[in-house]
Amino acid sequence: MCLAIPAKVLEVQGDVAKVDFGQKIVRDVNVMLVEAHVGEYVLVHAGYAIQVIDQEAAEETLRLWEEILKYDEG
């Protein structure tokens, strides 16, 4: 099973973008597979952005992740 997490692109320099996963989690990911721009959302899998997605889909997915994590905490 593959798992990809949405993240907002904060900056792009060449094939590397700084992205925000929310909750103050910012990481560098490789964007060589997509054409990502600042302000867009990408799906990240294993350190690579694999798809650009719209803001509504990204925010809904992030909301669902928060619910899952809260449920898991008990």
Structural domains of the chain in order of their starting residue, each with its CATH number: 5-73 (2.30.30.140)
Confidence of residue 74 (pLDDT cuts 50, 70, 90): low
Q: Are 2 and 45 in contact (CB under 8 A)?
A: yes
For residue 2, is pLDDT > 90?
no
> Tell me, what's the pLDDT at 70?
82
State pLDDT tens for residues 3-50. Answer: 899 999 999 999 999 999 988 899 999 999 999 999 999 999 999 999
Handedness of CA 18, 32, 42, 72 (dihedral sign): negative
Exposed / middle / buried, residue 51 (Cβ in 10 Å: 0-12, 13-18, 19+): middle
Does residue 72 surpass a pLDDT of 70?
no
Regarding beta strands 16-22 and 48-53, do their DSSP bridges make them parallel or antiparallel, or are they unpaired?
unpaired
Q: pLDDT digits over 54-63, tens only? A: 999 999 988 8
